[in-house]
Structure 1
Amino acid sequence: MASPKFHMAFRKYHRWLGFFLAGIMGVYALSGILLIFRPTDILKYEQTETRQFESNLSGVDLLPLLKIRGSKVTDENADVVVLNVGQYDKNSGEATITKKDYPLVLAKMVKLHKATNNSPLFWLNISFGLGLLFFVISAFLMFIPKLPMYKNGLKIAGLGAIVTILAVAFGS
């Protein structure tokens, strides 16, 4: 069995890493809450952008050039292609795109939360995940296993795992 000194050392590491990760957890929590509402327009504002393309493109030719997910042609005539995200003037080749997006700071938070291995931010996500894993392990190393607090902690953690598994299994 490990000594009380060992457990106290883990309490100290848990505490200091907890203070450090509190800031990161706050940002992740806010961006996670924000991501829940991404299908809505909450906190988003309209941004209009003008892009220049070749003239006389059809709607079918224009869509891949726009590179906007969910864009569709709603109407097309000899002069204009009307899109769900704006319109394209066939004579001038100018497309006016109107989309809703977050302000810069919120957009950066969302990008942080959704980072993949192609983003330089993924190292922060991996470090954060490893920090949380350390919390999981060190939470049980903070107490001597013979104490009732330790045994109750195991029961509560098991209950938390079961609730999470049930929520994932039946909630989606």
Structure 2
Amino acid sequence: MGRKTSQKMRELHRYLGFFLAGIMAVYAISGIALIFRDTDLLKQEVSIEQIVQPQLSISEIGPALKIKKLEVDRNEAGTYYFENGTYNSLTGEAQFTKMELPYLLDKLTHFHKAKTGQPLFFLNIFFGVGLLFFVISAFWMFMPGTKIFQKGILFTAAGLILTLILLFV
């Protein structure tokens, strides 16, 4: 029974690994890119002209333009000036620049951050469950009691300790 279970786990681990290789690459690339999301690394400047509702209050301009933490610097004759742009409260016209990732990298990062309202969230759940299976099935790759299994347990403990240190420090 034990040997058959071990063999089956190894087989599932192998083929699931091949099946998920593409999505693992996407998550690796987008995960690295997301680390730098608060910088302009890899981003390019994009000019945006947009018409929104006129006569917005200062607190309504940011949400209407989808700009977080928008701060208006000054108001001159109905034109609000903020970092990298303007909003004309009489016409509703806004002109501003913002930094965006290139198209493909932007798609990859949105793939990585899918929410429950998006169809990709099912794929994210499947991927998370697949990764959890990899964690569990790894312990069936080698027979308990062998030198390589014991070494694997030590590496597992070291990785867990490092994770806990990084998580709580």
Q: CA 1:130–1:53 in structure 2 vs 1: closer, same or farther (change >3 Å)?
A: closer
**Runs of at least 5 residues in structure 1 that lack an aligned partner in the other structure:** none
Q: Aligned with 1:152: secondary structure?
A: helix
Listed one character per residue, the Cα deviations across residues 103-145 of structure 1 (whole Å, up to 9, x for unaligned) are 2211111111112223221111111111111111111112222
Cα RMSD over matched residues? 1.9
Aligned equivalents of 2:42, 2:168: Cα separation in 1: 31
Give the equivalent residue in structure 2 for 1:87: 86
Q: For the Cα contact (< 8 Å) 1:58–1:81, is it kept in 2?
A: no
- Spell out the pairing of 1:49-68 with structure 2 (5 A cutoff): 49-68=48-67
Answer with 48-57 or 102-111: which moved more.
Answer: 48-57
Listed one character per residue, the Cα deviations across residues 134-166 of structure 1 (whole Å, up to 9, x for unaligned) are 111111112222322222212211111111111
Aligned equivalents of 2:96, 2:67: Cα separation in 1: 10
Give the equivalent residue in structure 1 for 2:128: 129
- Spell out the pairing of 1:23-172 with structure 2 (5 A cutoff): 23-170=22-169
Q: CA 1:135–1:73 in structure 2 vs 1: closer, same or farther (change >3 Å)?
A: same
Q: Aligned with 2:20: secondary structure?
A: helix
Letter in structure 2 aligned against 1:26 = A
Which segments of structure 1 move beyond 6 Å, counting only runs of 4 or more? none
Aligned equivalents of 1:155, 1:63: Cα separation in 2: 51
Q: For the Cα contact (< 8 Å) 2:13–2:137, is it kept in 1?
A: yes
Letter in structure 1 aligned against 2:105 = L
Aligned equivalents of 2:116, 2:26: Cα separation in 1: 20
**Runs of at least 5 residues in structure 2 that lack an aligned partner in the other structure:** none
Aligned length: 169
Q: For the Cα contact (< 8 Å) 2:62–2:69, is it kept in 1?
A: no
Q: Aligned with 1:69: secondary structure?
A: coil
